[in-house]
Amino acid sequence: MRRKSIITLFGVVLTMTVLGQGMAVAASCENLTSLSGPQATITSSESVAAGAFAPPGGPGRGAAAFQNLPAFCRVKATLKPTSDSDIKMEIWMPATGWNGRFEGAGSGGMGGAIPLNLIAAALRKGFASAGSDTGHEGAGSDYAPSHPEKVIDFGYRAIHEMTVEAKKVVAAYYGKGPSFSYMDGCGGGAQNVESEAQRYPNDYDGLSVTGFSHNTHHKQEQMWIWEAAHKDEASNIPPDKFKVLHTAVLQKCDALDGVKDGVIEDPRRCAFDPKEIECKGADSPSCLTAPQVEAVRKIYAGPTNPRTGERIPAPLPGSELSMAQFVGPAPFPFSQDFYRNFVFRDPSWDYRKNPPNFDSDWALATRPEISSVVDSVDPDLRKFTGRGGKFLMYEGWADGTIPTGLAINYYNSVLDKMGGVKNTKDSVRMFVVPGMSHCGIGEAHGEFDVIKTMEQWVENKKAPDTITQTRVVGGKVVRTRILCQYPQVSTYKGTGSTDDAQNFTCKLPS
């Protein structure tokens, strides 16, 4: 028995056929273009055969992410929640084998591009997935000074609008919406995830986040690194010397946890002074000159407001490999762009004429008209957790791009706001990953499937007491280790292989 069902999607009335048992059958992928409405235009919808997707720009770097994709329905849309909005998005849905779930994809850095690689990764696991360009094209933010609505789109609205409309398209294509929705994000994607938890608690069931670019402080920290290495010509540190510095840090602190394995388990215990590798005579590639030693000390100390004394968390020992990107001839591009277009709103701003000022610039960067839009620092997650949402934080101890302390500070603020660990452990947990860098495994003991962890927590009520990392080399598992809930650290029991997770336990740091 069949009957007709009328639904409204994007402001358009859509007729669907419903089978006798209540299973709706939508139109074909190609017919989804009929769903366009006043604020959302489906610009194309096409079926892509298995293995037939060709990434934009053709073969090259990153092409491996799109190899051997299953058959899917690819939908492109433009969203205009305001007259000045122009949000581009894509939705990819498995033609067969959909797992009934949706995964949103955050946009890294300053946005400006649809993260097709993340959408593809979710598709390959059976998810329907979507991503957006956060409302502008290109990694720059030249739009910011004169387009406040686009700033709001970038700050938080684009990801929410993308999520809402993607779920509607999914429902139209499959005849039912997703049973569960997840999102994992790093860097700019972290801002997206935290914004969803804080501003739109009904969008997702499980949210996980790393690389916490949730406020403007990391931009000051990145400028601080550049300024430390450019106090004068003698302070400049060649990129290769950061490798020398990192090797020295590992030699000093790797074995503090009782296991020498190429990973610093808890860098807060690492009392390394760069003077230990100061050149004894002339400068050479294997040592630091006295001015370079002072520059590294300043980097480890972190940004300090000279007037108020306020400090921002600094990169920790073990994160040296990520510091080199910030000491080039010019400041880091994202930092320059942020200062030019958000802080000063002046396209002509030039760091050479206006060197960083960690008092006045700090105040400008954190003024309410910026922070209320691009920051996601609200610690009150009760609306999200109150409806059963789960929030997983996993940060890398070796993240020198956005220092670990920013994530720890936010987690502690959540605990303070929501009544401590006892009242939050069923819905908010944090793990800090030894050796993990920014948005990547780095020198960590191994990898883990964060979305699978979230599925177990959300759908089966199995909260992660520990998480197992797995290192695979040549198709063979060569190491497993446990991650512990912060502030606990993984501790060797004293017997058995140090490459076997069962020989480790969680303890508070001594």
Predicted pLDDT of residue 64: 84
- Buried-exposed string 411-432: b where 16+ CB fall within 10 A, e elsewhere: beebbeebeeeeebeebbbbbb
Other CB atoms within 10 Å distance of the CB of residue 68:
9
pLDDT tens string 403-423: 999 999 999 999 999 999 999
Predicted pLDDT of residue 9: 46
Confirm if 319 and 398 have CB atoms less than 8 A apart: yes
Predicted pLDDT of residue 26: 58
pLDDT tens string 257-295: 999 999 999 999 999 999 999 999 999 999 999 999 999
Confirm if 132 and 88 have CB atoms less than 8 A apart: yes
216 or 170: which carries more pLDDT confidence? 170
Predicted pLDDT of residue 65: 87
pLDDT tens string 219-264: 899 999 999 999 999 999 999 999 999 999 999 999 999 999 999 9
pLDDT tens string 357-389: 999 998 998 899 888 999 999 999 999 999 999
Lowest mean pLDDT among 14-23, 158-167, 356-365: 14-23
Predicted pLDDT of residue 27: 67
Predicted pLDDT of residue 213: 79
∠127-64-161 over CA atoms, to 5°? 40
Tokens (6 digits) for 246? 């990192």
Predicted pLDDT of residue 137: 95
Predicted pLDDT of residue 6: 42
pLDDT tens string 265-275: 999 999 999 99
Mean pLDDT of all residues in 142-169: 96
Q: Is 11's pLDDT higher than 80? A: no
How far apart CA 181 and CA 163 sit, in angstroms, is: 9
- For the chain, counts of helices (H) and of strands (E): 14, 16
Predicted pLDDT of residue 356: 87
